[in-house]
Amino acid sequence: MHLSVQNISFAYGTTTIMKNLSLEVTDGQFVSIIAPSGSGKSTLFYLIGGLLQPQSGQILLESQSIVGKRGQVSYMPQSPSLLPWRTVQQNVQIAYEIRKKKPALSEIHQLLERAGLAEVAHHYPHQLSGGMQQRVAFIRTLAEDKPILCLDEPFGALDALTRTKMQNWLQLILKEEKRTVLFITHSIEEAILLSDRIYVCHASPLQVSHVFHVSIPMNERQKKHQATGWRELTQKIEEALI
């Protein structure tokens, strides 16, 4: 699954958000985007997801234009966006319903289990903590089962421990199923931990300023600061951001 964003421009009314932005995500790659708050990251996802249309430029998935086409990518929104009248389990189910697939309950339960949500499977969203809601949204996105995943700050409200758990889990899934991921995060650490490539952008308009290839081997990354090259990369990215 090759995703190619080519020279897109977009404006809300008269406020230009992006101008000739280009990005590439090659098959099986994990690509992170780090950019200032309010720079247009979520907007970029809306464009890729077909919710909005760029004023100019192309968005190609496997060389096919997906401009204005919805349902091509699995998307996790920044705010959990759970349906308040559905329990946790039913909220995950909706991902199957949209594909008109009979949901295998065991499958859903396995997902819930892995995210530590088995106990609250029959709770309503308003009975969950912020972090739990985010986890539900995350597994719902996994359940959408599209070849490319667009994750908008998936681990934003999670504590360090749960976060590490979820990150490991994500890596595990990616190893098994080899999905392509476009990942928005504001944590440099998280970006290095998970990515093959990191786009650092600046705002107004949103524009890629630096691209970093993460060459630290996967099995070394767990060590974080102790891993060779970690600290240097962190510093470089921090500098790129300023």
Partner 1 sequence: MNKMKTWFPVLITSIVFLLLWEAIVILFAIETWLLPSPYDILRETWEIRDRIFENLRSTFTISIFGLMSGLVLGVGIATVLYLIPFLQRIFYPFILISQNIPLIALAPLLVMWFGFGVGPKITIVMLICFFPIVVSTLDGFTQTDPTLQTYLKMAGASRWQRFIKLEWPSALPSFFSGLKLSATYSVMGAVISEWLGSQKGLGVLLTLSSKSFRTDRVFVAITFIVILSICFFIIISWIERFILHWKQNP
Ligand X SMILES: Nc1ncnc2c1ncn2[C@@H]1O[C@H](COP(=O)(O)OP(=O)(O)OP(=O)(O)O)[C@@H](O)[C@H]1O
- Which amino acid appears at position 141 of this protein? T
Counting contacts by CB under 8 A, is residue 53 touching partner 1? no
Contact (CB, 8 A) for 147 and 182: no
11/241 with CB nearer partner 1: 11
Q: Residue 105 corresponds to which tokens in the numbers above?
A: 């309950």
Counting contacts by CB under 8 A, is residue 221 touching a second copy? no
Of 23-31, 42-50, 116-124, 173-181, the window that binds Mg ion (rule: CB under 5 A) is 42-50
Q: How big is the site for a second copy, counted in residues (CB under 8 A)?
A: 36
Counting contacts by CB under 8 A, is residue 209 touching a second copy? no
List CB contacts of 127: < 8 A, sequence separation 6 or more: 120
- Among the residues of the chain, which ranges form H helices? 41-48, 88-98, 105-114, 130-144, 160-177, 188-194, 218-221, 230-241
As measured in angstroms, the least distance from the Cβ of 99 to ligand X is 27
CA distance 161 to 163: 5
Site for partner 1 in 133-152 (CB under 8 A): 144
Contact (CB, 8 A) for 113 and 121: no
Contact (CB, 8 A) for 182 and 227: no
Counting contacts by CB under 6 A, is residue 166 touching ligand X? no
Of 20-28, 31-39, 67-75, 85-93, the window that binds a second copy (rule: CB under 8 A) is 31-39
Counting contacts by CB under 8 A, is residue 130 touching a second copy? yes
Counting contacts by CB under 8 A, is residue 16 touching partner 1? no
- What are the φ/ψ torsions at residue 203 (nearest 5 degrees)? -100, 170
Query: Which residues sit at the interface with a second copy, rule CB under 8 A?
Result: 12, 34-42, 78-79, 127-132, 135, 153, 156-163, 186-188, 225, 231, 238, 241-242
Query: Which residues sit at the interface with partner 1, rule CB under 8 A?
Result: 12-13, 45-46, 49-51, 70-75, 77, 79, 81, 83-85, 94-95, 97-98, 124, 126-127, 144
